[in-house]
Amino acid sequence: MKIIDRIQSGLTLSFEVFPPKSDKPLEPLLDTLEQLYTLRPDFISCTYGAMGSNKGRNLEVVASIQSSGKCEALSHYTCGGNSRQDGLDALADYQSVGVENLLALRGDFPAGVTHTNGDFLHANELIAFIRSQTNAFSLAAACYPEKHLLAESMDADIDALLKKQDAGADFLMTQLCYSVENYLRFLDRARKRGVKLPIVAGVLPLIKKDGLVRMTLSNGCSIPAEVSALVGRYGESEESFREAGHAFTVSLVRRLIKEGANGIHLYTLNRFEDVADLVYDTGIREKPQTNR
Ligand code: FAD
C-alpha cells in the first residue's frame, strides 16, 4: 500500500531504523522490529548510508519489514554516489521485494565532501527521475522546520521544497525540531508560499543528554530554553534526564498532533523500550490490556 493513501485517511505513526553494516548480523534488528510491530505502526523507514557505498543491509531490512505484513516499509534512498543506472537498479530491487514507498534524499555529506558524486545533485532531481521512470512508488521528501543547515535562508529552503513538490513528491517528513514555535513558523511560511503536501513530523525522543547535543548540533537545529533547562536540571543523572525527557517528548508529540501534523515519525534508533512508553503515553496507540 502507498503511504500517501494511509496519510490521507488519518494520523500515521511510524518509526525509523538504521540497517546493520553489510558484514554484521541482521538478527538483533529483526528482533527489535518484531517488538516495534506490536505498536501497530503504519510504516517503518530504514535509512540509507550517506554516499550510497555504505548503505549496509538496507534492502534486506526493508524487504523484511514489507514481507512481515505488519506495516509498510519506506526505504530512504539518496543521490549520494548514485548514477542514473544505479537508480534504475535500486528501483528494480525495491520493487522486487514489494517496497512501494521511498524517501528521496540528497544524502548527508561526510566531512570534506561537497558534491553528491553521482548523477543527481539535489533531491528534486532524484524525485523527477523516479517519476519519469515509474508510478510504482509513493515518494516522500525531507523538510527542515529550522531550515537546512546549508540553506542561505528559510525562503531559499522553501524554494527547494517547492521544487520537490513540483517534481512529484507526495508528502514531506521533517527533520527533528524541539521548538514547536519554530515548527509553526515554518509551517505558516511554507503554506503561504504554496507548499501543499502533507507533513509527517519527525521526533527524536529526548532520552540521553549526549544524544540530544550531538544530533541537534550536527543537524543545525536549535535547543530551546525549555530543553536546556532540562539539561541543566537533570543532566547529571541519566535516569532523571530520561524521565524529564520523556515527559517533554510526550508533550511535544501531543502539541504537534494538535497543530495538525499528518503523522508522527519517531527516530527510534533501533530501540524499543522508550519508544513503547512514548507511543502509549501520547495516546497515539492504546496500551493493550494484560490478562492477570
Ligand atoms: P536537498 O533537497 O537537495 O537540499 C540540500 C540543500 O540544497 C538545502 O540547503 C536546500 O535548500 C538546497 N537545495 C535543494 N534543492 C536545490 C536546488 N534544486 N538548487 C539549489 N539548491 C537546492 N541522509 C542520509 O544520508 N541517509 C538517510 O537515510 C537520511 N535520512 C533522512 C531522513 C529525514 C526525515 C531527514 C529530514 C533527513 C535525512 N537525511 C539522510 C539527511 C539528508 O540527506 C541531509 O539533510 C541532506 O543534507 C539534505 O537532503 P535533502 O534531501 O533535503 O537535500
Tell me, in angstroms, the distance from the centre of ligand 1 to residue 49's CA.
13
Tell me what the mean pLDDT of segment 205-224 comes to. Answer: 94
Cβ–Cβ under 8 Å, residues 67 and 97 = yes
Cβ–Cβ under 8 Å, residues 220 and 149 = yes
Q: How confident is the model at residue 163 (pLDDT cuts 50, 70, 90)?
A: very high
Average pLDDT, the chain: 95
Whether 51 has a pLDDT exceeding 90, the answer reads no
Residues 81, 106: Cα–Cα separation, whole Å: 10
- Number of other residues whose CB lies within 10 A of the CB of residue 18: 20
pLDDT of residue 289: 82
Tell me what the mean pLDDT of segment 22-43 comes to. Answer: 96
CA angle (143 as vertex; 142, 149 as ends), nearest 5: 105
55 lines ligand 1 (CB under 6 A): no
Tell me what the mean pLDDT of segment 63-78 comes to. Answer: 98
Whether 50 has a pLDDT exceeding 80, the answer reads no
- Quote the DSSP letter at residue 172: E
pLDDT of residue 67: 98
pLDDT of residue 230: 97
pLDDT of residue 201: 98
Tell me, in angstroms, the distance from the centre of ligand 1 to residue 143's CA.
8
Whether 130 has a pLDDT exceeding 80, the answer reads yes
How far CA 71 is from CA of 23, 27, 63, 68, 157, in Å, comes to 27, 19, 12, 7, 32
pTM: 0.97
Whether 22 has a pLDDT exceeding 80, the answer reads yes
Considering only 19-23, 64-68, 232-236, which range has the smallest mean pLDDT?
Answer: 19-23
Q: Whose alpha carbon is nearest atom 28 of ligand 1?
A: 47
106 lines ligand 1 (CB under 6 A): yes
Tell me what the mean pLDDT of segment 71-92 comes to. Answer: 97
| Residues present in the chain in total | 292
How far CA 256 is from CA of 104, 133, 172, 274, in Å, comes to 24, 35, 15, 19
- Quote the DSSP letter at residue 46: E
pLDDT of residue 135: 97
Close Cβ partners of 233 (under 8 Å, ≥ 6 residues apart): 244
Tell me what the mean pLDDT of segment 111-127 comes to. Answer: 94
Whether 110 has a pLDDT exceeding 90, the answer reads no
Tell me what the mean pLDDT of segment 65-82 comes to. Answer: 97
Tell me, in angstroms, the distance from the centre of ligand 1 to residue 123's CA.
6
Q: How confident is the model at residue 54 (pLDDT cuts 50, 70, 90)?
A: low
Tell me what the mean pLDDT of segment 160-183 comes to. Answer: 98
Q: Which helix (H) or strand (E) holds 203?
A: strand 199-203
- Alpha-carbon Rg for the chain in angstroms: 18
149 lines ligand 1 (CB under 6 A): no
Tell me what the mean pLDDT of segment 113-139 comes to. Answer: 96
pLDDT of residue 282: 97
Whether 16 has a pLDDT exceeding 80, the answer reads yes
Nearest-10 crossing angle of helices 225-234, 238-258:
160
Tell me, in angstroms, the distance from the centre of ligand 1 to residue 96's CA.
26
Tell me what the mean pLDDT of segment 206-220 comes to. Answer: 93
Tell me what the mean pLDDT of segment 224-242 comes to. Answer: 96
- Number of other residues whose CB lies within 10 A of the CB of residue 236: 10
Close Cβ partners of 148 (under 8 Å, ≥ 6 residues apart): 157, 160, 175, 220
Residues 43, 77: Cα–Cα separation, whole Å: 16
Sign, CA torsion 173/197/261/228: positive
Tracing cell 534512498 back to the chain, one arrives at 77
pLDDT of residue 92: 98
